A and B are shown apart, each in its own frame.
Chain A
C-alpha cells in the first residue's frame, strides 16, 4: 500500500481482503437530493466503515426495500486498487470490486442498530 499524489491509497486486492473493516457510523439521508427521494415507503441512508492505518475509509448508500437492507450504487473510498505490478485499475473497476468486497460484510445489522440509536 502506498499513498498517491492524488490522495488515494493504492492497494492490491490481496491487501484489501486482508483488512477487517469496522463500523464507523451510519445515518439516514438528510436531504431530498436523490432520485429515490419521495418514493413512498423507501428509507435510504449511508453507512461508513473503517480499517487499517493509515485509515482506509469506505462508505456506501443503502435502501430498505421489502424489509431488506441493500447496498445502492458503488462504494466511495480513498482506496484505488492496483494489480500486483502496482498498475492502477480504473476508478470504475476499483469501485466495482470494492462493492463486491463490502457485500461480504454483514453490515446490515450494524447499520440498522446505528440508525435506530441515532434517530430513535
Chain B
C-alpha cells in the first residue's frame, strides 16, 4: 500500500481520473449518494478545486483503494457551505488550524468482498486517515472537521483517534449525520505512513 498526496496540479491526469472513478464507485454506485457527476463515471464537485489537497491510497497493483479530500476552512468547504446546520447556529470554523476532511473512503474493489460501511475501521482506512492527518498537519492543521455518519464516531474512537462531536447529530435523508472533530495529536501524526508526491506527474 502506498499513499500519495497533492493537489490536482501535482497529481498525474491518470491518477486524477482514477480518483474520480473510485469516488463514483464508492459514493454513487455503492452508497447511492445523489451527487452531480461532472463527467460520466467520475465524481467531482465544486470543492474539487486547484487548491484542494488529495490523499490517495493505492494497492500493489496500482489500483486506487482509498481517497481523502482536504480543504482549508479559510476557503469554501462542504460543512460550511452545504451542511452548516450540523453546527446548530454555532459559527462554522474558519481557521488555518482547522481543515476539512471529506470524501473519505477505503474500499479495495479488487478484493473478493467489499463494503464501504467500515469506512474508518479497516487497516487501509486507518492508514489512510493517518496519512491524511499527516498531510494536513504539514499544512498547519491542528484538527480536522468532517461531516460523517453518526456511527463513524464510534469507529474513530475504537481505532484510537481523538475524535469528538462538535454539535448534536441531525437526521438527513433518514440517516444521522454529525460534524466530527479529529484532533491531530502529535503522537498520532508521528506514527503515520510515509506520503509521497505523485512521481508520474513530474
Contacts and interface: CB of A to CB of B under 8 A. Distances in A.
Greatest chain B CB density within 10 A among A5, A8, A59, A76 is at A76
B143 A6 contact: yes
Contacts of B143: 6-7
A8 B169 CA distance: 15
A104 interface: no
Interface residues of A, number: 26
Contacts of B88: 54-55
Interface in B132-172: 143, 145, 150-151, 153-155, 157, 162, 164-169, 171
Interface string B90-121: 10000001000000000000000000011001
Contact of A6 (B117, B168, B181): B181
Contact of A57 (B118, B168, B183): B168
A7 B164 contact: yes
Contacts of B162: 91
A33 to B, nearest CB: 5
Contact of B169 (A5, A33, A57): A57
B89 to A, nearest CB: 8
Interface in B33-86: none
A5 B95 CA distance: 10
B155 A33 contact: yes
Nearest to B180: A7
B197 interface: no
Given A7-B143, A30-B151, A55 B167 contact: yes
Given A7-B145, A33-B117, 13 more contacts: A5-B97, A6-B143, A7-B181, A25-B171, A25-B176, A30-B151, A31-B118, A33-B118, A48-B169, A54-B167, A55-B168, A59-B150, A61-B154
17 contacts: A5-B97, A6-B143, A30-B151, A31-B117, A31-B118, A31-B151, A32-B117, A33-B117, A33-B121, A33-B151, A33-B154, A34-B154, A46-B151, A48-B169, A48-B176, A59-B169, A78-B166
